[in-house]
Amino acid sequence: MGDFRHKTLWSLVALVLTAGVLTTCGDKSDDERADEAVEWLLGYRSTDKVARTWRITSVRRGKQHAVVMDVNIPEPPAQVRRMKQLSRMQQYEILQLICPRRAVFHDILAKGQKLWINLNGQGGNIISGSCKRDWQRRD
């Protein structure tokens, strides 16, 4: 009887270990997800009419597994001046125009990871912030 319990216990331990290994095999680290997101963003272009004229100048992995994208608004200078006069909330909503809306992009990032945008114009930074994870909007 003791031998049966011993075999059952070891079988149960083996089953739990196997299940644990199988569930972690397919998981990507946050660094791997960030690198994949960087690759995806290198070929990205916004479908927004205004944001299509902006230039993505850099995409990289940032601190705490975030993905950082630098965006430059090249022309016209009057547009940048008007943006700088807006409230921070209005600037933040404008920043959202460059954010990817495709669910496929958001599936790359882990739940806690962020895409951080630095929106720049002539004279420096206009606003920096993270993209909303809006699952309803898609390109």
Residue 65 in any domain: the answer is yes
Q: Which has more confidence, 117 or 11?
A: 117
Q: What is the rounded CA–CA span in Å between residue 16 and residue 65?
A: 30
Q: Domain range holding 44?
A: 29-130
Residue 139 lies in a domain: no
Residue 35 confidence class, pLDDT cut points 50, 70, 90: very high
CATH of the domain at 67: 3.30.300
pTM of the complete model: 0.72
In this prediction, residue 123 has a pLDDT band, given cuts at 50, 70 and 90, of confident
CA atoms within 13 A on the CB side of 15: 6
Q: Does 49 fall in a domain?
A: yes
Q: Which of 84, 94, 87 is nearest to 126 (CA)?
A: 84
Residue 17 lies in a domain: no
What is the tally of structural domains in the chain? Answer: 1
62 domain-assigned:
yes
The per-residue pLDDT for 77 is 80
Handedness of CA 75, 126, 72, 112 (dihedral sign): negative
Rounded to 5°, angle at Cα 69 from 66 and 75:
160
Q: How many residues are present in the chain? A: 139
Torsions phi, psi for 40 (to 5 deg): -65, -40
